[in-house]
Structure formats: C-alpha cells, structure tokens
C-alpha cells in the first residue's frame, strides 16, 4: 500500500479525482501543481492511514515512518533546505484534509520545524529577525494549543502583557525583541502547564502534529459537523505536509482567501480578502481588518490588492482563469505572496448561497464552460428553499439598530439568544431565535443550525459565521462592529439602545442591516435565472410534478411554482371552516342516515364551490380529490364546555352529546374508523362529495369550454372489495349528475396505496383502479409500526445513534417502504399496463425520495406548493 503521495516540484503522484484517498486539499494541491500552478512542494498522508490508525488502537502502518522520511527528503531537495538544519531550516505546515471540506473543524499547525536553534538560522537566512521570532512564537502557540492542548487564552494573555508594556495596539508594532520575549514567555508557560519542556526536536514535532490531525477527526465538533452533514466517520482525514511559504516576511508579502466569483450573489467578480505581511490564520482570526481584492469593490480608505501588489494580483487573476477553465466551477482559494511571488495553498469548489449557485450555474452554461444539463446538476434541489424564503418588505416601518456585513442572504426575525445551547434549547420548543455572538467558532454549529439567523460583531465575509451560515442557508449579518455584546449581562448595546436576551430583532442578511423588533416580510421574487434553470430542468425530467393543495391560495402558489396539477386535495381540510363545522358536527352526531343526509345537504354547496375554484385555477390540469379520510371524532368538540355548547346549538342535551362523543372515540384512531371505512359504513358522505365534484366539473366545463378531468381517490384501501364498493357509489352519482345536467365528462377513480396489504395485493386492487397514488406517510407508519404523531419524541434519538440512517417520514426508506412501493408498481402494472402511478406523501418533495420515485418509474410526484421547484429540479437530476 502506498501511504504517502508527493506533490509539487514536478513530482505529482496525486490527482483531483483521488479525493477519497488524499482528501480534497491533497488531491487539489497535486492537481494544481500538475497543471503548472505555483504550489510549494509537499506530500499527503492518505485517509487510509487515518482508518488504519483508528482500526489498530491508534498505531500507524509499519512502513509509514520510512515513507514520510523519503517524501520529506524530496521536499528538502526541491527547496534546497533541510528539516532541522541550524543554518537553512526547512519549515512545514501540517494540515488536515478530509474528502469533503469541513471548515475549521480540524487542526492545522504552521511553521513546524522551528526551535531555539533553527529560529536563529531562519533569522540569518531571511535577514529578518522580527519575522523569524514572530514565526517561532506563532508555531509555539499553534503547536501548544493544537497538539499539547494548552488553552489559547493563555497565549493571548502573554501577548497582551507584552503589548501593554510596550504601549502598542497592533501586533505589527511589536519588534524582534518583543516577539522573542513572547516566544520565551510561551515556552515557560507551556512547560508549566504541560509539565514538560516545549519539544525542540523537529521530527518529534512533526509526528506530534500528524497525530493531532488524526486525533482531531474524532473531536466533538468534527463529530457534530459530520452528523449534521451526513459525513461517515469511516472516511477519515488525510494529512498534508507542505513546505512553508511566508506571507509575513515584510510589506511585499501577503496572504489571502478568495473566491473566483461572489459566493453570496454569484456575480462574476474576483471576490475575497487579503492582508499584507500576515500568515493565513490572521485573515480569519479577525485581529486585523482584511482588505478587498479588486479595486472595483474597494470602499474609500481601503487598500485593494489590485493597487497595493499589482504584479501578484495580475498573476492571481491569471490563476483564477486557469482554475475556472480547469475545474469548470467556482473555486475557493487560499494563497500566499512571498516577496512578490504568488503561491497557491488550496483550491476547492467554493461553498455558496443558493442564489449564487443558481447564478453561477446559469452563467457558466451561457459562458460555455458547462452545458445546460450539467448546469441542472449544479444546484442542490433542497437549497432552492432558500430562494423561496421571504425578504423584508421594503415598505415596512423599521428601526435600525446597527449595520454589519451582508454575510448570508435572507431575512430572519426572532428572540435574541447569546449561546448556541440556548439557541438549540429554545428552537426545540418551537421558538424563533437569533443567535448573537461576538464571533462564532466550530463549537457553535448546533446553535447556528437551530437559529433562524446569526449575528456577529466581529469577523469578515470569510469568518466562520459567514461561511457556515451560507452553507446552512441561514441569514447572517457578520462583523456588526457598532454592537457591543455583554454575555454576562445577557444584553447587547448599540447606539444607546440596549437589547436583552429574549427581545426580538430582525436581520437582513442581504444588506447587513439589523433592526429592533419585528419587521414585516414579503414573498420572494424569483429571478430570471431561476426560471431559466427550471426550464432546463423541465427539459430533462421525465416525471411530472404536482402539488398537494386544497385552498385556492395554495393552488395558485403551486401553479406559480410550476405545478402540473393537484396530486392530493385533502377534502377533510375543507370541513373545518367555521361556516361549515356546524353542519359537519350535526352530521356526525345524528344517529340516523336521514339526519346525516340533512346535514350533508348543507355541506354540498360548500364543497361544490371548493372544487369549482380548484378546477378553475388548474385550468384543465389533472386534479386528484381524495374523499374524506380521518375518523369522524376528529371533528368533534373537545372538553365539557365545548360539548355543552354544541349540544345547545343543535338542540340536544349535553349528556347524549357526551355519550355520542365517547361512542366515537377510539383507542387507536390511526388504525380505526377512517378512510374508505367511513365511506363504506356511511355511504352518504362519499355520495355527497362525489356529487359536489361532478357538479363542479360540469359547471366549469360549461363555463370555460374546457372540461376538467377529476381523479377521485379512495383512501386507506386494504382489500379490493372496498374499492369496488366505493367505486360503484361514485359511478352511480356520476351517472345521476350527467343525466341531470345533460353533460358527460371524463373522470377517473383510483386509490391510495398506503397500507402494506394494499401494496402486497396491488394486482387485485389494480383491477378496480384507474390509478394508484402512494400515501407514503401512512405506508411508512404502518410498515414500521411507528405512529406518525408520536414518533417525533424518540425518532431523533434513533437517527442520532444511526439505528435509522434518516427519519423515514422525511426521506423514503428504500429497503422497507420502498420495497413495498416497488412490489405494488410491478403488480399494478402487471395487471394494467401503463397504470398511472404517483406519490402524494411528504416524500414527494424530498430529493432523495424523488430519486427513488424515478427509479421505480412513477409518473409523477406531488408535494407541498413551496417544494414544487425542489421536486422539479430533483426530478430532473434523477432523470440525468
């Protein structure tokens, strides 16, 4: 086995497509070096070593030591320096690099190889004692905290003391002697805390750092990050060891982080931040204010790299072109300029907002970098959700509190909380919260996830808060410097205002503004790019996309988002209207068919109006109407008072009402008297609904000249006989209405497949069905024997412990529920070739489930209106 892969200086053993083995960083360093970009030489220790390490009680493979040694010699030869050499020491960086990027989750050590001897060599060789001692103290600090576990505050205290004694504010004002004093102070402190002197042997340092990177794969924040992002622990991390280049050697040196396009908007501009005379971590640490890259984006007083270092900037612009042409995607890069020469330290596909990913995909297709089909694969369907979310109403009154950086778009409103734990706790109780922090760190991700929005008072557009919030799709305002946060007082202050924990603020992540109290929001406007991408998606998808909708508003929203019909109209949702619930209850409590018919006659005109409205909006598109499903007692009043009220209004005595209510009550209503069981025992209910449907359809046909094709759907069928009986009822009503009105229209009668028995006997059921629609909510409930209403209490625990990979009510369980769906499809189509098949459970809007539906050959998916674009894109990706 090859455990170590070299890169740079003409010896590239890796490639971009070897990310599983080399991690993203290692694979791309090798790739960049092999396309001729300036990459300092180094080597990657593979992810297989990490796996081996954890599988063997934290032991390395036997050959590793020699392999690392050989690779290190190659680096020494390439740069003409020697590791540990007193006169010309080679220094290296040691960084983690997993298969997918996990920003800030694992550890990095820079300037490794420095000790009390080599620091003098570095000083003499560079002719810059200040630089050498600054580098040494940085090394002790990083190694001390990352490898030796010394609290980083202990280091900061020492710097602060020295700065105070010199009367300076900025780190850059400290001299060589000052940094030497800091370095010595560090060493004494580390020795005191760890009980051992700071390691002086470069080889021991190297293995210490390598071990720390592998260990960091299993630290708590990495574990949490993996859980939130579905990253398996088995993947492991690689370790990259690379010759150091120095951005902190003087005014002709710099370091920066940038994106080849704007990661917030997708705009085609070179976007990012850099710092003169600094090392990598200074840019993200927020100690000094990073400066913009391009002059076009610079504000007055800022010093864009384009002006300050024109040569290095021009080289970087060239590199940007090369990278985008090569990778055919927006890149997130890290670079260092050492004495005006540019070095590339990292490239990867850049994280971006949903809006940016959409714009970049469409732009790149137009630029000819990718084709339309490729563009369709570039946007995560679930991320479209972010674009469909509200923004602030420009006309709404508001009171400004502060302004920071527009770090991640979208508007959010909620109660202020000051800790991630608090954010999580309150969000679990259903509260909307805004997480406010001076800055965030990887320890805060659970709270960032739980919060509606994130506000920080420190840090730039590439700060942890900004990067993570964009990835999660949370609105974020970063670096709002005019706000002071006092954690102990649980309050924030800005411009004379005090906001305490629990009070409401509103963020606009697109402008960076922060407002006191709530601000009205409006529905999103969809951009031209959105329509373009959707058009491309529609060209490639096979499955149709419908919406679950019963109100005219939902139906209109669904149409606006491109729904091609209604896949599920839950008629019971129409029964709760205050105008009708009286008649519904009258029907339920009456003990005779006649009594029920009287009440149902009152409901008929309402239902007819409901369906008329839907048929009009859907203008000839298919509309699937499901007859009444839930058990009757769901419509009854609860509690003595409500029962007494109802009794009085219907002129019956409270006691018999009470008795009727308890007669109807069931121990297990989900498995009780519901679905077509109601239609069979009280046929007059389905008769009324069928009549309403046909009368509405005939009316709309006459009115518009275009006949709707109602698809009448019978719920919860378990045996064919149920469908036969209810179907006959519906057909009888159809004939009545057709002869009464003199108009005949086409219609279909089908069933939901939402019980295991129905799936297993789908060949029999298909004989009486014109279509099947999979009700995967109930099918999941009944297949798992998991109550839809109660599983929320313990299911998260199952997912957390990986007993179930995902919540099966969110994403279809392919092994169990999926197998039943597949059986039903085969059996159904075996009897009726071309039998129309769809899905209307919540899974219809989940991208992974949509992929499953494509695989089993469904004709359409149906989901809530807001998820229609998600489903359209997911269906397209599934078809590709």
User: What is the contact surface with ligand PEP in residues (CB under 6 A)?
Assistant: 568, 570, 629, 754, 775-778, 840-841
Give yes or no for a contact between 200 and 115, defined as CB atoms under 8 angstroms apart.
yes
Give yes or no for a contact between 21 and 46, defined as CB atoms under 8 angstroms apart.
yes
Residues 657 to 696: which contact Mg ion by CB under 5 A? none
Taking the least distance from each CB to ligand PEP, the nearer of 336 and 571 is 571
Q: Which does residue 840 bind out of Mg ion, ligand PEP, none, counting CB within 5 to 8 angstroms by kind?
A: ligand PEP
CB neighbours (10 Å) of residue 591? Answer: 10
Measured between alpha carbons, how far is 679 from 729 in angstroms, rounded to an integer? 9
Residue whose token pair is 């409006």: 522
Residues 497 to 536: which contact Mg ion by CB under 5 A? none
Minimal CB distance residue for Mg ion: 778
Q: Which does residue 166 bind out of Mg ion, ligand PEP, none, counting CB within 5 to 8 angstroms by kind?
A: none
Catalytic one among 464, 569, 676, 863? 464
* 296 φ, ψ (degrees, to nearest 5): -60, -30
How is residue 499 written in tokens? Answer: 């906001």
Q: Which does residue 676 bind out of ligand PEP, Mg ion, none, counting CB within 5 to 8 angstroms by kind?
A: none
Q: Which does residue 380 bind out of Mg ion, ligand PEP, none, counting CB within 5 to 8 angstroms by kind?
A: none
- Least gap, CB of 822 to ligand PEP (angstroms): 17
Taking the least distance from each CB to ligand PEP, the nearer of 185 and 838 is 838
Measured between alpha carbons, how far is 42 from 6 in angstroms, rounded to an integer? 6
Q: Which does residue 306 bind out of ligand PEP, Mg ion, none, counting CB within 5 to 8 angstroms by kind?
A: none
- Least gap, CB of 636 to ligand PEP (angstroms): 19
Give bridge partners of residue 5 from the DSSP assignment: 44
- Least gap, CB of 817 to ligand PEP (angstroms): 10
Stretch that binds Mg ion, among 170-178, 462-470, 501-509, 776-784 (CB under 5 A): 776-784
Taking the least distance from each CB to Mg ion, the nearer of 554 and 754 is 754
Q: Which does residue 329 bind out of ligand PEP, Mg ion, none, counting CB within 5 to 8 angstroms by kind?
A: none
- Least gap, CB of 524 to ligand PEP (angstroms): 27
Residue whose token pair is 């300036």: 38
> What one-character-per-residue DSSP string does 689-748 give?
HHHHHHHHHHHHHHHHS----EEEEE-S--SHHHHHHHHHHHHHHHHHHHHHHT-----E
Residues 147 to 206: which contact Mg ion by CB under 5 A? none
Per DSSP, the three-state class of 640 is helix
Per DSSP, the three-state class of 436 is strand
Taking the least distance from each CB to ligand PEP, the nearer of 406 and 841 is 841
Taking the least distance from each CB to ligand PEP, the nearer of 471 and 775 is 775
- Least gap, CB of 771 to Mg ion (angstroms): 16
Taking the least distance from each CB to ligand PEP, the nearer of 370 and 584 is 584
Taking the least distance from each CB to ligand PEP, the nearer of 442 and 775 is 775
Give yes or no for a contact between 261 and 269, defined as CB atoms under 8 angstroms apart.
yes
Residues in contact with 213: Cβ distance below 8 Å, sequence separation at least 6, in sequence order: 94, 95, 96, 106, 107, 237, 239
Q: Does 775 bind Mg ion (CB under 5 A)?
A: yes
CA neighbor of 496 nearest in space, from 401, 397, 417, 416:
401
- Least gap, CB of 841 to ligand PEP (angstroms): 3
Residues 778 to 817: which contact Mg ion by CB under 5 A? 778
Question: Any catalytic annotation for residue 464?
Answer: yes
How is residue 876 written in tokens? Answer: 């397209």
- Least gap, CB of 570 to ligand PEP (angstroms): 5
Stretch that binds Mg ion, among 173-181, 377-385, 473-481, 768-776 (CB under 5 A): 768-776
CA neighbor of 440 nearest in space, from 455, 425, 422:
455
Stretch that binds Mg ion, among 240-248, 282-290, 507-515, 775-783 (CB under 5 A): 775-783
H helix or E strand, kind and range, residue 532: helix 528-540
Q: Which does residue 506 bind out of ligand PEP, Mg ion, none, counting CB within 5 to 8 angstroms by kind?
A: none
Taking the least distance from each CB to ligand PEP, the nearer of 338 and 864 is 864
Stretch that binds Mg ion, among 84-92, 310-318, 742-750, 767-775 (CB under 5 A): 767-775
- Least gap, CB of 575 to ligand PEP (angstroms): 13
Considering only the C-alpha atoms of the chain, give the largest distance between any 2 of them, rounded to a whole number of Å: 105
* 89 φ, ψ (degrees, to nearest 5): -75, 140
Give bridge partners of residue 514 from the DSSP assignment: 402, 507
Q: Which does residue 838 bind out of ligand PEP, Mg ion, none, counting CB within 5 to 8 angstroms by kind?
A: none
How is residue 494 written in tokens? Answer: 């800005």
Q: Which does residue 570 bind out of ligand PEP, Mg ion, none, counting CB within 5 to 8 angstroms by kind?
A: ligand PEP
Taking the least distance from each CB to ligand PEP, the nearer of 380 and 570 is 570
| Residues across the chain | 880
Measured between alpha carbons, how far is 456 from 404 in angstroms, rounded to an integer? 8
> How many chain residues touch Mg ion (CB under 5 A)?
3
CA neighbor of 107 nearest in space, from 226, 224, 219:
219
Q: Which does residue 841 bind out of ligand PEP, Mg ion, none, counting CB within 5 to 8 angstroms by kind?
A: ligand PEP
Measured between alpha carbons, how far is 382 from 380 in angstroms, rounded to an integer? 5
Stretch that binds Mg ion, among 38-46, 174-182, 239-247, 771-779 (CB under 5 A): 771-779
Give yes or no for a contact between 521 and 413, defined as CB atoms under 8 angstroms apart.
yes
Q: 520, exposed or middle or buried, with CB in 10 Å at 0-12, 13-18, 19+?
A: middle
Question: Could you say which DSSP state residue 841 is in?
Answer: S
Site string for Mg ion, 737-766 (x = CB under 5 A): -----------------x------------
Distances (CA, A) of 639 to 644, 657, 661, 728, 866: 9, 12, 10, 39, 36
- Least gap, CB of 764 to Mg ion (angstroms): 20
- Least gap, CB of 563 to ligand PEP (angstroms): 16
Taking the least distance from each CB to ligand PEP, the nearer of 24 and 631 is 631
Strands 399-403 and 513-516: antiparallel
Catalytic one among 50, 258, 676, 840? 840
Residues that bind Mg ion (CB under 5 A): 754, 775, 778
Q: Which residues are catalytic?
A: 464, 840
């Amino acid at each position: 086995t090859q455990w170590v892969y070299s890169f740079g200086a003409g010896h590239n053993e890796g490639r971009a497509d070897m990310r599983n083995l080399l991690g993203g960083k290692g694979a791309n360093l090798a790739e960049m070096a092999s396309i001729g970009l300036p990459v300092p030489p180094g080597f990657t220790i593979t992810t297989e070593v990490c796996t081996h390490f954890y599988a063997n009680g934290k032991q390395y493979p036997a050959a590793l030591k020699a392999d690392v040694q050989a690779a290190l010699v190659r680096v020494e030869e390439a740069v003409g320096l020697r590791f540990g050499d007193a006169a010309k020491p080679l220094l290296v960086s040691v960084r983690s690099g997993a298969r997918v990027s996990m920003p800030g989750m694992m550890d990095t050590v820079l300037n490794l190889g420095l000790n009390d001897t080599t620091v003098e060599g570095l000083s003499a060789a560079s002719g810059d004692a200040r630089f050498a001692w600054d580098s040494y103290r940085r090394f002790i600090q990083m190694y001390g905290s990352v490898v030796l576990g010394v609290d980083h505050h202990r280091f900061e205290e020492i710097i602060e003391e020295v700065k105070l004694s010199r009367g300076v504010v900025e780190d850059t004002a400290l001299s060589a002697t000052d940094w030497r004093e800091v370095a010595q102070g560090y060493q004494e402190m580390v020795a005191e805390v760890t009980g051992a002197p700071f390691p002086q042997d470069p080889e021991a340092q190297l293995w210490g750092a390598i071990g720390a990177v592998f260990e960091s794969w299993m630290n708590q924040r990495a574990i949490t990050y993996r859980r939130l992002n579905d990253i398996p622990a088995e993947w492991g991390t690689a370790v990259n060891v690379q010759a150091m280049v120095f951005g902190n050697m003087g005014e002709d040196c710099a370091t920066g982080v940038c994106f080849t396009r704007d990661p917030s908007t997708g705009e085609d501009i070179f976007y990012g931040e850099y710092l003169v005379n600094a090392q990598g971590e200074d840019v993200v640490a927020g100690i000094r204010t990073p400066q913009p890259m391009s002059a076009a984006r610079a504000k007055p007083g800022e010093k864009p790299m384009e002006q300050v270092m024109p040569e290095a900037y021009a080289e970087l612009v060239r590199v940007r072109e090369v990278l985008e042409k090569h990778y055919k995607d927006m890149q997130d890069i890290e670079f260092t300029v050492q004495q005006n020469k540019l070095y590339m330290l990292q490239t990867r596909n850049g994280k971006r907002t949903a809006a940016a990913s959409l714009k970049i995909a469409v732009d790149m297709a137009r630029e000819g970098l990718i084709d339309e089909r490729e563009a369709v694969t570039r946007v995560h369907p679930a991320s479209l959700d972010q674009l469909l979310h509200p923004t602030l109403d420009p006309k709404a009154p508001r009171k400004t509190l502060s302004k920071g950086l527009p770090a991640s778009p979208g508007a959010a409103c909620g109660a202020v909380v000051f800790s991630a734990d608090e954010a999580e706790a309150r969000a679990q109780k259903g509260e909307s919260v805004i997480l406010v922090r001076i800055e965030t760190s990887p320890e805060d991700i659970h709270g960032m996830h739980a919060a509606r929005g994130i506000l920080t008072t420190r840090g730039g557009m590439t700060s942890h808060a900004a990067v993570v919030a964009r990835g999660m799709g949370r609105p974020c305002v970063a670096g709002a410097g005019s706000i002071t946060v006092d954690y102990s007082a649980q309050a924030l202050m800005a411009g004379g205002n005090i906001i305490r924990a629990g009070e409401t603020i509103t963020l606009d992540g697109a402008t960076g503004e922060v407002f006191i109290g709530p601000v009205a929001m409006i529905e999103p406007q969809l951009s031209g790019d959105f329509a373009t991408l959707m058009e491309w998606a529609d060209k490639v998808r096979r499955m149709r996309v419908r919406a679950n909708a019963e109100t005219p508003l939902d139906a209109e929203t669904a149409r606006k988002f491109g729904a091609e019909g209604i896949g599920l109209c839950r008629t019971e949702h129409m029964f709760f209207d205050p105008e009708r619930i009286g008649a519904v209850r009258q029907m339920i409590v009456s003990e005779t068919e006649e009594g029920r018919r009287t009440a149902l006659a009152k409901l008929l005109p309402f239902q007819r109006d409901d369906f008329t409205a839907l048929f009009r909006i859907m203008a000839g598109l298919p509309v699937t109407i499901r007859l009444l499903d839930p058990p009757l007692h769901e419509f009854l009043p609860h509690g003595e008072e409500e029962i007494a009220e109802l009794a009085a209004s219907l002129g019956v005595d409270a006691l018999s009402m009470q008795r009727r209510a308890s007669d109807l009550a069931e121990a297990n209503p989900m498995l009780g008297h519901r679905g077509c069981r109601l239609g069979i025992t009280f046929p007059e209910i389905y008769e009324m609904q069928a009549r309403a449907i046909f009368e509405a359809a005939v009316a709309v046909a006459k009115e518009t000249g275009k006949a709707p094709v109602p698809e009448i759907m019978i719920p919860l069928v378990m045996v064919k006989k149920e469908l036969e009986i209810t179907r006959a009822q519906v057909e009888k009503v159809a004939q009545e209405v057709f002869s009464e009105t003199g108009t005949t229209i086409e219609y279909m009668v089908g069933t939901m497949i939402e019980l295991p028995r129905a799936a297993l006997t789908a060949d029999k059921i298909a004989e009486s069905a014109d279509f099947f629609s999979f009700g995967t909510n109930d099918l999941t409930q009944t297949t798992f024997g998991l109550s839809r209403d109660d599983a929320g209490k313990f299911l998260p625990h199952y997912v957390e412990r990986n007993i179930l990979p995902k919540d099966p009510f969110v994403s279809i369980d392919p092994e169990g529920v999926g197998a039943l769906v597949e059986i039903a499809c085969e059996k159904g189509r075996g009897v009726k070739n071309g039998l129309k098949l769809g899905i209307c459970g919540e899974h219809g809007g989940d991208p992974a489930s949509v992929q499953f539906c494509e695989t089993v050959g469904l004709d359409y998916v149906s989901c809530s209106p807001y998820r229609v674009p998600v489903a359209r894109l997911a269906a397209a990706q599934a078809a590709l």
